[in-house]
Homo-oligomer: A and B are copies of this chain.
């Protein structure tokens, strides 16, 4: 069941080796989703209140505190955050870099959806998931569109 030339009836399917690239990219993006959301949220909490506590992270993510504790340990192992026991968590240089990048992309995606005519509430909700699957090229298209709409 491969059919390189052209003999099959319906043709909604592309080449398997091309098809698999999309799924691989989506899986990779899914793998990074949580990390990006965490560092972005930590950066926001520090910027807003000077510190990022587990309870606040847990409340905003909608998960239990031990879930946050476990993830912070992993982020620390990955060199993205530095945590002091029974204290808040802080971003390392690479953590800050990833946070800044994630936040900027998030901002652009949300602004783009609004520019397209989506309500602010829906734009906020959908952007939280969409942001992680937007490539540099698509992000550029989003940015251009949103800029064009606000200037016009």
Give A residues with C-beta under 8 Å from B.
1, 3, 8-14, 16, 18-27, 29-30, 33, 37, 44-45, 47-51, 53, 56, 59-62, 113, 116-119, 122-130, 132-135, 137-138, 141-142, 144-145
Q: Closest 10 A-B residue pairs measured CB to CB?
A: A129-B133, A26-B129, A22-B128, A20-B62, A10-B47, A26-B128, A13-B48, A122-B137, A130-B133, A19-B60
* Interface contact B145-A44, CB-CB below 8 Å: no
Bound Cα distance A125, B23 (Å): 8
Among A3, A24, A137, chain B packs the most CB atoms within 10 A around the CB of: A137
* Interface contact A60-B129, CB-CB below 8 Å: no
